[in-house]
Amino acid sequence: MQTERSTLLEVVGAFATEVGVFVLWHFLDLIPSWFAYSAFAGLVVIWLVVYLRYKPTSHSLTIEPIGMTPTKTFNPVQFIHQGWWENRDGSFVDDKMRVGDIIQGEFEVRFGILRVTSIGADAPDCRARVTFTERVPTGKDTWTDFQSQGGYLNWYSLSAREALQANPRRFNVAGMDTIRDPENRAGINSLLKNPSENLTQDDPKDLQLFYVLKSGRVFLCTELEDQITIMLGGVESGQPLKKVVEVTFTAQRTGKVVKKYEIMISAWDDFTIKELS
């Protein structure tokens, strides 16, 4: 595909060639002076128009971390609160429902968000790969840190959220899919998978960094379905969870952007995301 840079270079080259030809013809008296000057002025106007169309622009991504407080107003991007009920052992007799045991419950999730905006140009196929540090004990009082690959983060998708909210009963309190995966390792990421987004200039899009279940378990929101591999930990009463993650953004016609964030989670509905320098 021809890029804007190559198009600009072709225009500049063609302009320089035409100017050289007219100058040569003028000095050789092959064309009148007035014609040479008029043609030169016309070429300058055309070149300016094309240059303004294809001139290089400053292009960057701005990322705004969005946390959560217990009193925050409901926001469908950050909240899932879905009730469900089941008529267990119910049946139809003579076209009438016989009520059995009524089982009901709620499925609640909160999301940590990175709001991404492309400044200066579009950013097609924008992806964000995440890594995080895990500390593994190597002895009684020793441990080692290593970087764990979390895959590509999922962009917010209304249709994906609707699919999740239509099936709240299939996920247990640990967020695991009890229907699709008998080993209970797949979670809600299986329905939220959306690792690529076409960013339009100056139009912000929401990237789902992590989610917290009401049980206090915290997971990265990525394309990986195995929840165990992307679990950040759990929130204990009075003991906040603190994690540092690194997110690498890439997109067509855009350079690589690397950001580090400190995640501090005090409760399932109370957390902050702070960019580290």
Note the Cα 97 to chain centre separation in Å. Answer: 46
What pLDDT, on the 0 to 100 scale, is given for residue 1? Answer: 34
Q: CA 125 to CA 176: how far, in whole Å?
A: 29
Query: How far is the CA of 16 from the CAs of 13, 19, 22, 41, in angstroms?
Result: 5, 5, 10, 13
Asked if 241 and 233 count as a contact pair (C-beta separation under 8 A), the reply is: yes
Contact 78, 39 (CB under 8 A): no
Q: What is the pLDDT of residue 50?
A: 61
Task: Considering only residues 13 and 164, tell me which one the structure prediction assigns the higher pLDDT.
Answer: 164
- Alpha-carbon dihedral 133, 136, 137, 142, rounded to 10 degrees: -30
| Percentage with pLDDT > 70 across the chain | 66
Average pLDDT (5-30) is 57
Distance CA 207, CA 218 (A): 16
Q: How far is CA 89 from the centre of its chain?
A: 43
Question: Is it the case that residue 175 has pLDDT exceeding 90?
Answer: no
**pLDDT tens digits for 111-126?**
999 999 999 999 999 9
> CB–CB of 111/78 below 8 Å?
yes
Count other Cβ atoms within 10 Å, centred on residue 261: 22
**Half-sphere exposure in the Cβ direction for 250 (13 Å, CA):** 5
pLDDT in tens, 222-274: 999 888 888 999 997 778 999 999 999 999 877 899 999 999 999 999 999 99
Mean confidence (pLDDT) of the chain: 80
Task: Say what the pLDDT of residue 190 is.
Answer: 87
Average confidence (pLDDT) over 17-45: 61
The pLDDT of residue 3 is 44
What are 180's two structure tokens? 């699709």
Mean pLDDT of 205-234: 92
CA distances (Å), 135 to each of 142, 220, 233, 245, in order? 10, 17, 11, 13
Q: Which of 13-22, 79-88, 259-268 has the lowest mean pLDDT?
A: 13-22
